[in-house]
Amino acid sequence: MAFGPFLLLALMEGLVTAAVLALAASGLSLVFGVMRVVNVAHGEFYMLGAVLAWAVTTMIPGPPALAFLAAVLIAPVLVAALAAAADGLILKRLNYDPEATIVATIGLLYILQQAALSLYGPNANPVTAPFEWRIQLPWFGYSGYKLFVVLAAGLVLLGLWLFMTRTKAGLVMRATQVDRSTAQAFGINVDRVYMGTFALGAGLAALAGVLIVPIQQAQYLMGHDPLLLSFIVVIIGGLGSLRGTLIAALVIGLSDGVISMFFTPTLAKILATLLVAMVLVFRPQGLFGARA
Amino acid sequence: MKHWTLHLALIAVLFSAQYWLSPYHATNLARIMVLAVFAMGYNLAFGYTGLLSLGHALLLSAGMYAAGLPAQLWGWSAGPAFIAGIVGGGLVAATLGLLALRTAGVSFMIVTLMFAQAGYLTLLYFAPVTGGDDGFALAPASRTLMGIDLSTDTPRFLTALAIFATGLLLSLALVRSFFGRTMVAMRENEERSRMLGYNPFTVKLAALTLSGLYAGAAGAAYAILFGYVGASFATIQYSILPMLYVLMGGAGTTLGPFLGALVMFALIEAATGLTTAHQFIVGAALVVLVLFAPKGVLGTIRERWVRWLP
Amino acid sequence: MAALIESRDLTLHFGGLKAVDGVDFTLNPGEIHALIGPNGAGKTTFVSLLSGRRLPQSGTILLAGEDITRLPAHARVRKGIAYTFQITSIFPRLSVFDNVALAVQSRGSRDLASRTRAALARLGLHGLEEQEAQTLSYGHQRLLEVAMGLALDPKLLILDEPTQGLAASEVDGFKALVRSLVPQTTVLLIEHNMEVVMDLATRITVLTFGRVLATGTPAEIRANPAVQEAYLGA
């Protein structure tokens, strides 16, 4: 293949990565922005989304498209409910102390990972894509489902943006983000906002997991990489800034697609983690965030 | 005086353990003592100075590889390799501190996590030298000290005990010194400490470097006594473990790290018959501790009953 | 007489707010100098600049003729500038002894225990050594704060509203204490209690809107029409 089409393929793969990453990272960013909680178990919510999608699609007979649609609807809701429970049982009792919640979510990570291993097993299982449709470009064929993932992620993020800027619930969340105690003084039920935010953040990660699973089999350890990448995206985009998160997801996703075609993935990851650490040390507002 | 008596009594009990424990359990105890040294170092940073690091696996593996690589490549014997491990842990900790200590709180946690992750990936990247996740076994020649084979039961146990005892008594002396008081002052109220004339950056850098010396000693000791060096010791798991031990035993207590390591080992050992879900125990212990006993065993005992506990 | 501390054209603006706006200020050795002014006049910000807790945008600060404008706070403490916080800032979970010992050992490690006890006795806190600082009464916490400042054995002691929250009887004791410090220690005092100010101060500086309105003896300040209009008369 010539260089041009090769690059095009790399960019298309990168776009898929970016789309899924943007979904997962926006959940992490939302939780950090509103609650000031760094959720280390975020990757496990992604993994649970994928595993539950497998469970739902194997349980529901009928055409793959229908089963997949059921997974899209059911898995994120289940994961969101689980997250809401974790918020009420653990995070709320810690009074959302930043350091204690990190320790607690590390514990949660271990518990969820073990639960997946014990109940689901160590194997990776595939989920059939809802449709088999290939786009034939002059140089290569490309999976239509992958393009659908990009489109779906874009729509969900658009919906998230509308939700945050145009609805009363979104306004309440943003008010709580700016100043928790003032929001409370204005009669906002902060506990409910936090629970809702944590559930929404987890649901977004789970949805990302559902969307990726027809491309990349469900496995109990699959939450690790998205967690790290989401961290990278959220930090480079500026902690708590949704817009920065989206830009960073696009940049990281695309460059990841391109870089991993030309370099070893390990080297790319080393550079990315070092970049994140350096950004936090020398430019804590993120590369795209405004100076606070 | 009673402080020293208590600590020396523990060391005496551990010394006697070689006579009443089975070889299997004695080897486990040696392992616990080595990991307790690691946790004592973590405790100096986290328990006393308030630096919640998620990157101590970097320091442990720095010590492990600083001892293991010269042993492997140039045939260094146990003594020089051990010293190289301590120095390696301290140097990496100081470098980490110079960068990471510009941040605080949650940022510090993430920065240390990221540097440790980069360190782990680097070990994987240079797998031909480091052995990657599989690691490599240390040659017998590198596991002898003055003609004594440290890979056999009794010398291994006694060496682990000697390193542990030294670390424990040094940490007791340290936390009861002026510098120990300064470390605690940083944890309790950094701004006030600054206005008493202490430079927070240098105090924290010194504490983190000390912590790195302990981690380096533990990593080197593990390599020499158990004969294995591998990148798996650089994973996030080994950054969480010392935190878990310290939280369990009691952050900011000299004996807490050992007690925590012992309790966690015992818990996992006891649960092995019932379930293979080790991770679940670690996860549940973290959540339960942070929810219901944030001061850990000895921290709670100190608060309720024994005020003088160091 | 050479000034102990001197600021020239010291300025710090927060956005549009001119917290400290070109302040020239001289502190003579051995005096008790009071800094007064309405709320928001920039008093606390000004002493934060002197103590190094904040850095100015322009201007210079000289300590006994040496430029310390860019020196970090902890280094200024070592040079003899001690600061006590307006909002009590102690080590709440440490013992009273450890609180003061931390200040004492910052000046050197000789005779730590006896020097610490002496500093505590001076503020009437003896007998409370082993108590956890957070269990002290508010008044005692204020005194502990001052004890820490004194234990640094400073050339200049900056007291930010030290009598706030003290009982009337404690205020009298406190005035006697401050008098006993000079002339070895120079005292710069932010204070709202005018009775304390007029009683203690050898000189007074009035700040309004980040600028010096007047400087003089208590009698001169009382007689100054501008001060009366801007502040005392209000």
Report yes or no on A208 lying in a domain: yes
Answer whether residue A130 is part of any domain. yes
Element (H, E) at C203: strand C203-208
Please check whether residue B303 touches C, CB under 8 A: no
**Would C119 be classed as within a structural domain?**
no
**CB of B233 closer than 8 Å to CB of B98:** no
Tell me the per-residue pLDDT of C57-68, one tens digit each, with 9 for 90 and over: 999 999 998 999
Kindly state whether residue A264 falls inside one of the protein's structural domains: no
Determine the residue of chain B that is closest to A115 in CA distance.
B280
Q: Does A103 touch chain B (CB under 8 A)?
A: yes
Query: Distance (Å, rounded) from C-alpha A240 to C-alpha A198?
Result: 14
Residues of C in contact with B194 (CB under 8 A): 73-74, 77
Nearest CA of chain A to the CA of B107: how many Å? 7
The closest alpha carbon to B89, from B266, B242, B208, belongs to B208
Domain ranges of chain B: 23-234
Q: Do the domain assignments include residue C12?
A: yes
Residue C147: inside a domain: no
Please give the residue that has the higher pLDDT: either A31 or A265. Answer: A31
At A97, phi and psi to the nearest 5?
-60, 125
Spatial contact of C11 and C22, defined as CB atoms under 8 Å apart: yes
The answer to whether residue A119 neighbours chain B at the CB level (below 8 Å) is: no
Residue A110 is assigned to a structural domain of this protein? yes
Alpha helices in chain C (DSSP H): 43-51, 73-78, 96-105, 112-122, 138-151, 168-181, 194-200, 218-223, 225-227
**Closest to B279 (Cα-Cα) out of A82, A102, A118:** A118
Using the Cβ of C110 and the Cβ atoms of chain B, whether some distance falls under 8 Å is answered with no
Average the pLDDT over A125-131 and give the result.
85
pLDDT score recorded for residue B146: 83
Pick among A37, A87, A102 to test the B interface (most B CBs inside 10 A)? A102
> Is residue C39 in a domain?
yes
| Integer CA distances (angstroms), C94 to A200, C133, C140, in order | 42, 6, 15
Q: What is the mean pLDDT of residues A121-150?
A: 85
Confidence tier at A104 by pLDDT (50, 70, 90)? very high
Answer yes or no: are the C-beta atoms of A184 and A191 closer than 8 Å: no
| Three-state secondary structure call for residue C216 | strand
Q: Is residue A291 part of a domain?
A: no
**What proportion of chain A, given as a percentage, has pLDDT over 70?**
96
Chains A and C touch (3+ CB pairs under 8 A): no
Minimal-distance CA residue of chain B relative to C75:
B197
C149 touches C123 (CB < 8 A): no
Q: Which band of pLDDT confidence, cut at 50, 70 and 90, is reported for residue B141?
A: confident
Number of domains in chain A: 1
Contact (Cβ atoms closer than 8 angstroms) between residue B130 and residue B137: no
Q: Mean pLDDT throughout B59-78?
A: 95
What is the token pair recorded at A23?
A: 């979904």
Structural domain containing residue A47: 23-223
Residues 6+ positions from C195 with CB-CB distance below 8 Å: none
C147-198 per-position pLDDT tens digit: 999 999 999 999 998 888 788 888 888 889 899 988 889 999 998 888 899 9
Spatial CA neighbour of C13 closest among C69, C56, C71: C56
Place of tokens 């608060």: B303
pLDDT per position as a tens digit, A67-78: 899 999 999 999
pLDDT at A291: 41
B53 interfaces chain A, CB cutoff of 8 Å: no
CATH number for the domain that contains residue C222: 3.40.50.300
Position C71 in a domain: yes
Banded model confidence at residue A134, pLDDT cuts 50, 70, 90: confident
What part of C 60-99 touches B (C-beta under 8 Å)? 72-75, 77-78, 82-83, 85, 89-94, 98
Chains touching B by CB (3 or more pairs below 8 Å): A, C
What is the DSSP pairing of strand C203-208 with strand C32-36?
parallel
Question: In Å, how far are A35, A149, C80, C156 from A45, measured between CA atoms?
Answer: 17, 18, 55, 58
Q: How far apart are CA A163 and CA A167, in angstroms?
A: 5
Closest CA to B187 of A283, A83, A99: A99
Q: Would A219 be classed as within a structural domain?
A: yes
Q: Which residue of A has its CA nearest to B295?
A: A100
Domains held by chain C: number: 1
Distance, in Å, from the CA atom of C182 to the CA atom of B24, rounded to the nearest integer, reads 71
Quickly state the pLDDT bin for A3 (edges 50, 70, 90): confident
Cβ of residue B125 closer than 8 Å to a chain A Cβ: yes
How would you write the pLDDT of chain C (234 residues) with one tens digit per residue? 578 999 999 999 988 888 899 899 999 999 999 999 888 888 899 999 999 999 999 999 999 989 999 999 999 999 999 998 888 889 999 999 999 999 999 888 788 899 999 989 988 888 888 899 999 988 889 889 989 999 999 999 999 988 887 888 888 888 898 999 888 899 999 988 888 999 999 999 999 888 999 999 999 988 888 888 776 554
At CA C219, angle to CA C218 and CA C221, rounded to 5?
65
Judge whether residue B139 has pLDDT over 50.
yes
Smallest CA–CA distance from A264 into chain B, residue: B125
Structural domain boundaries, residue C12: 5-80+154-232
CA C37, CA A231: separation in Å to the nearest integer? 49
How far from A253 is each of A247, B238, B251, C138, CA to CA, in Å?
A: 10, 29, 40, 56
pTM (2 decimals)? 0.89
Whether residue B244 is predicted with pLDDT greater than 60 in this model: the reply is yes
Question: Which of B175, B186, B189, B195 to probe by mutation at the C interface, max C CB count within 10 Å?
Answer: B195
